[in-house]
Amino acid sequence: MTPNDYTMLSARFGRSDGHKLAVYEAEGGYRALRKVLQDGMSREEVREEVKGAGLRGRGGAGFPTGVKWGFVPPDADEIYFFVNADESEPGTFKDRYLLDYDPHQTIEGTIISCFAVKAKLAFIYIRGEFGWLVDRVQKAVDEAYAAGYLGKDILGSGYDLEMIVHKGAGAYICGEETGLINSVTGRKGQPSIKPPFPAVQGFLDKPTIVNNVESVASVPFIINEGAAAYKAFGTEKSCGTKLFSVSGPVKRPGVYEIPLGLPFREFFNDWLGGMAEGEKLKAVIVGGSSVPVLPAEEIMNTNLDYESLGEAGTMLGSGGMIVIPESCDMVELIQVLMHFYFDESCGQCTPCREGTGWLHRIVKRLRGGGGTPEDLDLLEHVCDGMAGLTICPLADAAVMPMRSFLDKFRPEFEALIQETAAAAPTSRWPRGEQE
């Protein structure tokens, strides 16, 4: 297998013209939409096809997409759809590829998804820092309107759909689906308590579906080729292909589309070309910064699918793969991560608000030379008081890396504490002063 064998999602990646409607149409684009709207597929048929394909949400939680669509109350008549392009998880940069190189694929997938849940208005919520993407996607949406794929009576089917491209203001927490909805509504960008779940009561208190970019981008293929063709890729429970965004000192970092179940070893050696010259693999954070880290020897024997990674003690998450070289100081790395969660916690739940700050300060103190052996127990203790006790999983997202770093790389923490009696290390990352 080689990278070029899998182009369900990534056919136009890296090309300069793939974002244009004409190019997308010439390569079979909007065929799935015609199939649904002109060949008269029913909403149920679309939902069943997606369910049958085993597509799982690509935003991180991996919840089956078709099943989620089924949660919309059948008698609802005002339904909203949000495409989540907030992509702010450190290490994750796949959705921006999809929107940058191939916006029409996501737009087509969104229109079909909206049809399946009977939504009349869709938002594409784009991370605030992705300014250029907003323009690119807006242009593509304008093209789609002009071509009759959006607006009133799409393709003569009687189905109406409006689409709004919305630019976020740059908060990680607005990627959480209820935080996203709140921020679009003009409220403080922070998650709401569940239940009610958005599929029942979301935007303007109406049923609302939130899906990741990659999830909806997978829909046209499933409609065109059928659930069976989709399931031909991947494993029994982890179906289809998945984008991984790989960063770190490997020979060929970037965004890859892989069939789920691909052994990491093969991916690492053959696709990524192994480590860059002079670097040695130390560990991998496989699914975005919020999942537990795996040391080299553990990840090397793991396959890249939901179940295998779960068994290995981590998660597939968003597919934001951070490759960590031997030369990396793990305490410094966790300081970067803990600062991130401390900075991004919305602050409404006590354990997360106080816990992220506490973790950040302890780690900063360690790095600043003021650590004691008891601090490591204190870190564990703070993690205990956060995990599973909050409204949204951001608290767990901070706890999982923290705990796994302590668990897998404790000697580095202990060594630092011992050394610091002698001399405080100088940070290559002097952000501690910024808060």
Partner 1 sequence: MAKVTIDGQEMEFAEGTRLFDACAEARGEALPHFCYHPDLSVAGVCRLCQVEVEGMPKLTIACNTFVRDGMVVHTRNEKVRKAARQILEMHLVNHPVDCPICDQAGECGLQNQYMTYGLYESEVEQADKVNKAKAEVIGPHVILDKERCVLCSRCVRFCEEVTKTGEMGIFNRGDRAEIGVAPGTELANEYSLNTVDICPVGALTSRDFRFQKRVWMLKSTPGVCPGCATGCNVRIDHEAGRIFRLKPRRNDEVNGPWMCDRGRMVYKDVHDEDRLTTPLLRGEAVAWADVEEDLARLLAFGSVGLAVGSARATLEENFLLKRLAERLGAGEMSGGLRDADRGVGDDILQDADRAPNRRGLEILDLAEHDAVTLAGRIGNASGTILLLGGDPAAAPEVAAALQGKDVVFVGTHAGATAALAQVVLPGAAWAETAGVFVNRQGRLQDFPQAIARPDRARETWRILVERLAAAGEDTPPASLRTVRLLLTEAHGLPDLNSLPAVGSVPAAGGAD
Ligand X SMILES: Cc1cc2nc3c(=O)[nH]c(=O)nc-3n(C[C@H](O)[C@H](O)[C@H](O)COP(=O)(O)O)c2cc1C
| Nearer CB in complex with ligand X: 249/393 | 393
**CB closer to partner 1, 157 vs 348:** 348
Both structure tokens of 28: 């079979």
Tell me whether the omega of the peptide bond preceding residue 195 falls within 30 degrees of 0, making it cis. yes
DSSP 13: T
Binding part of the chain for ligand X, among 32-40, 80-88, 223-231, 265-273 by CB under 6 A, reads: 80-88
Q: For residue 147, which amino acid is it?
A: A
If we measure between CA atoms, which residue out of 366, 367, 384 comes closest to residue 375?
366
Give the binding site for ligand SF4 (CB under 6 A).
173, 190-191, 345-349, 352-353, 390-392, 394-395
DSSP label of 367: I
Query: What does the per-residue mask of binding to ligand X show for 60-79, with x meaning CB under 6 A?
Result: xx-x-x--x-----------
Using the minimum distance from each CB to partner 1, give the nearer residue, 298 or 396.
396
Nearest to 281 by CA among 257, 246, 244: 246
CB of 189 to partner 1, least distance (A): 9
Asked if residue 385 binds partner 1 (CB under 8 A), the reply is: yes
* Nearest distance from C-beta of residue 213 to ligand X, angstroms: 7
Minimum CB–partner distance for residue 178 and ligand SF4 (Å):
9
What is the sign of the dihedral through the CA atoms of 309, 315, 317 and 322? negative
Of residues 79, 210, 250, 337, which one binds ligand X by CB under 6 A?
Answer: 210
Only one of the segments 60-68, 120-128, 262-270, 356-364 lies at the binding site for partner 1 (rule: CB under 8 A); that segment is 356-364
Number of shown-chain residues binding partner 1 (CB under 8 A): 32
Tell me which residues in 8-37 interact with ligand X (CB under 6 A).
none
Position 138 contacts partner 1 (CB under 8 A): no
CB of 283 or CB of 398, closer to ligand SF4: 398
Q: Which is nearer to partner 1, 106 or 345 (CB)?
A: 345
DSSP-derived letter for residue 121 is E
Q: Tell me which H or E stretch contains 146.
A: helix 131-146
Min. distance of Cβ 371 from partner 1 in angstroms? 13
Total residues contacting ligand X (rule CB under 6 A)? 26
Residue 46 has which token pair? 């679309």
Task: Measure the CA–CA gap between 295 and 307, rounded to whole angstroms.
Answer: 18
Encoded one letter per residue, x for contact with ligand X by CB under 6 A and - for no contact, window 141-180 reads -------------------------------xx-xxx---
C-alpha distances out from residue 112 to 46, 131, 165, Å: 8, 26, 17
Cα angle for residues 258, 50, 159 (degrees, 5° grid):
125
133 near ligand X (CB under 6 A): no
121 or 395: CB nearest ligand SF4? 395
Which 8-state DSSP code applies to residue 157? S
Mark 212-231 with x for binding to ligand X (rule: CB under 6 A) and - for no binding. x--x----------------
Give the integer Cα–Cα distance in Å for 359 and 338: 7
349 with 317: CB under 8 angstroms?
A: no
Please tell me what DSSP assigns to residue 366.
Answer: I
The CA distance from 417 to 429, in Å, is: 18
Query: How many Å apart are CA 241 and CA 92, to the nearest integer?
Result: 16
182 binds partner 1 (CB under 8 A): no
Residues 368-407 that bind ligand X (CB under 6 A): 392-394, 397
Question: Which of partner 1, ligand X, ligand SF4, none does residue 361 bind to, with CB < 5 to 8 Å depending on kind?
Answer: partner 1
| Rounded distance between C-alpha atoms, residue 219 and residue 213, angstroms | 10
60: left (phi over 0), alpha (psi -120 to 50) or beta: left
Rule CB under 8 A: is residue 188 a binding residue for partner 1? Answer: yes
Where do contacts with partner 1 occur on this chain (CB under 8 A)?
Answer: 171, 173, 188, 190, 193, 195, 342-351, 353-358, 361, 378, 381, 384-385, 388-391, 435
